[in-house]
Amino acid sequence: MILDTIEQVKIYLIQELLVRPDDSVHVEYLSGGVSCRVWKIVQNNNRWVIKQALEKLDVQVDWFSDVERIHREHRVMKQIEFIVPDSNVPKVLHVDYTNHVYMMTCAEEGVETWKNIMMSGVFNVSTAKSASALLSQIHSQSYKIDEEQKTEFSDQKYFNQLRIDPFHRFLIQKYPELTENINKLIDELSLQRTCLVHGDFSPKNMLVQKNGEIVLIDFEVAHWGNPVFDLAYCLGHLMLKAWHLKKYEELLGLIRAFLDSYKGEVLNLLPHLGLMLLARMDGKSPVNYIQDESLKHIIRLVAINWITNASPDANILEAIEQQFQSS
């Protein structure tokens, strides 16, 4: 059953015995993602989110991924319960393997994503610290995950379908001169596996609660791999917002706090960050808020330089500061 309309969602809830036919149920579509249909359900005092995977992602180019990835997502969320506080990750309430659906608890009313908060001109250092602390905990404490589940998460099929293929390999087609450099980055992500990696650690997936704590969502790309990906992915989003908003000092403050608060060590971060920047310009899912061609050109030059010339022990903060100072 495909959950494309409010009526279909209501029918599904009744069929799965999640609500009664005579219950008053409010269903709201939640936009923002390209890989799933997501619906908010309110029934009396109950507030839930239902998520169903899409086979063809909602982007302009052809981009397909196995819908079984949604089951990886809810299994990761169940394992995350062992390593992070209850308030930081939603609870899985219902699982449907036939329709590739699961239901989870909904964040408190009125929460906003960290992305929307920044785009509205608010730059809280405390949020950057909370995000980094949460990521540190996931990376450093993931050894507590059940060994059988760890073995399952070591299969990087969904990470390849949703990140390596549409980012790295797609860029090789556009920039064949970067083939050797990008393949080296792919090898580092594929072969250096040390912890649980979220795979989509973006401000759009961090809901900032009233108490300042973050609720982290969207675990469908999670896998056992190299933690450098999560840092590069998040820092890339912060840099892009600095360029877009022209708030270099403000975003640099967030980046500094994020890096200072991360309790772990990653290798070769700068070229991976360059790859993330280039992917958001020319990958299968380019960032939608940067349209200025001259700015895109600047970002491409920075990205390519970092991919090809960055030293493995480069100071990441100094490199970012230098680019912002010249912007």
Summarize pLDDT for 41-60 with one digit per residue, the tens: 999 888 999 988 877 654 45
Alpha-carbon gap, residue 312 to 324, rounded angstroms: 21
Task: State both tokens at 267.
Answer: 């290798």
> With a cut of 70, which residues of the chain have pLDDT below it?
32-35, 56-66
pLDDT at 59: 45
Name the residue among 202, 324, 198 with its Cα closest to residue 253. 324
pTM: 0.91
Beta carbons of 178 and 172 less than 8 angstroms apart: yes
Return the amino acid letter for 290: I
Summarize pLDDT for 125-174 with one digit per residue, the tens: 999 999 999 999 999 999 999 899 899 999 999 999 999 999 999 999 99
Phi, psi torsion values for 190, nearest 5 degrees: -85, -30
pLDDT at 213: 87
Instruction: Give Dmax over CA atoms of the chain in angstroms.
Output: 64
CATH number 3.90.1200.10 is the correct assignment for the domain at 6-326 = yes
Of all residues in the chain, what percent carry a pLDDT higher than 70?
Answer: 95
Alpha-carbon gap, residue 115 to 100, rounded angstroms: 28
DSSP-derived secondary structure letter, 203: G
Alpha-carbon gap, residue 107 to 22, rounded angstroms: 26
HEC per residue, 70-81: HHHHHHHHHHHC
Alpha-carbon gap, residue 139 to 226, rounded angstroms: 9
Beta carbons of 149 and 72 less than 8 angstroms apart: no
Alpha-carbon gap, residue 101 to 38, rounded angstroms: 10
Cα dist from 51 to 100, 114, 189, whole Å? 8, 21, 28
Helices marked H in 192-292 — which ranges?
228-245, 248-261, 269-282
Beta strand ranges found along 44-137 (DSSP E): 46-53, 92-96, 101-105, 112-113
Report the DSSP pairing between strands 92-96 and 26-30.
unpaired
- How many Cα atoms sit within 13 Å of 272 on the Cβ side? 24
Residue 140, judged by CB atoms within 10 A of its CB (0-12, 13-18, 19+), counts as middle
Domains in the chain: boundaries: 6-326
Residue 119, judged by CB atoms within 10 A of its CB (0-12, 13-18, 19+), counts as middle
Q: What is the residue-wise DSSP string for 135-201?
A: HHHHHHHGGGS-HHHHHHHT--HHHIIIIIIIIIIHHHHH-GGGHHHHHHHHHHHHH---EEE-S--
pLDDT at 302: 97
Phi, psi torsion values for 170, nearest 5 degrees: -65, -40
